[in-house]
Amino acid sequence: MSARPGPHHGPARAAQRLFAAVCVAPVLLVAAAGSVAFVSSLYASTAADLVRQTQGRSSGRDAAAIAVRLAPWRSAHHRYLAQSLSADAEWTRSIEHGERAVQTNPADGYAWLYLARLAGTQPPLGARVRRMYEMALTRTPHSLAVHRAIAFDGVQRWRFGDPPLRALWRDSMAYTLQRDRAAFLFEIARLRRDQTWCAAQRGQLPIDEWCANVAYLRAECAKPALPAKSEAWCRERHLLPLRR
């Protein structure tokens, strides 16, 4: 007489396996996906840190590429890879990943901003770049960081922009001056852009007095045989001529 199947054999065991497959497998998949996302974020974070360092650019690019392979659906990963590629002047691939970033997440204002900055390396600059800036501003209308970045793009690329793009740049300059005036003006002086910027913006932005003061100080700091303390003061404020 044959033994009856126990709870670990036959249909009962099959039902238990089916239950485990249906209930446990999705949990494991979610855990695996979470692990991939976590690891990809670590690589992306590493890339963001290394790309700012001249000696770490190659490693930063490699880390960003791994992050993209692990989680290609993440907009920020494409943005970091685009940034690392642009640091090596690989403009075509950089713009490609910048475009993937906005395709992956059209709501990512920073991705639109970075794509605009990449496209801005290829003058003349007009409606295409302006639309990218507008997409960034639409998604982050009150972000000082976004307005500051756009303002500095305008400072550095003014002569390449068409009138509507210049108007957008100037609006972000005005926004930044209202909220971060001292740091913004200091950076313009540090970049030695004050002369050309003042020539373009005097009378359009509230900077006439500052421009006059900087021009006076540059002339004073350019005098020969400055006392040591005066020369140190001028150097700290980036007012010395380049030859000194």
| Summary mean pLDDT of the chain | 79
Q: Classify domain 32-104 by CATH number.
A: 1.25.40
Query: How confident is the model over 115-140, as pLDDT tens digits?
Result: 898 888 777 889 999 999 999 999 99
Give the predicted TM-score (pTM) of the model. 0.71
User: Could you tell me the two tokens for 243?
Assistant: 């030859």
pLDDT level of residue 154 (50, 70, 90 thresholds): very high
- What residues are paired with 202 via a beta bridge? 205
Structure tokens that stand for 242 in this block: 């380049």
| Per-residue pLDDT reduced to its tens digit, 16-52 | 443 444 344 343 334 334 444 444 444 444 444 444 4
More confident residue, 93 or 154: 154
- Is the Cβ–Cβ distance between 102 and 75 less than 8 Å? yes
Cβ neighbours of residue 48 closer than 8 Å, sequence gap 6 or more: 60, 80, 83
Residue 61 C-beta-side C-alpha neighbours within 13 Å:
15
Cα dihedral sign for 71, 76, 78, 82?
Answer: negative
Q: Which of 53, 108, 59 is nearest to 79 (CA)?
A: 108
The answer to whether residues 68 and 41 touch, using CB atoms and an 8 Å cutoff, is no
Number of residues assigned to the chain = 244
Alpha helices in the chain (DSSP H): 10-50, 57-70, 75-87, 91-104, 109-119, 127-139, 144-157, 163-190, 194-201, 208-221, 228-236
Least confident of 6-15, 76-85, 212-221, 232-241: 6-15
Rounded Cα–Cα distance for residues 97 and 93 (Å): 6
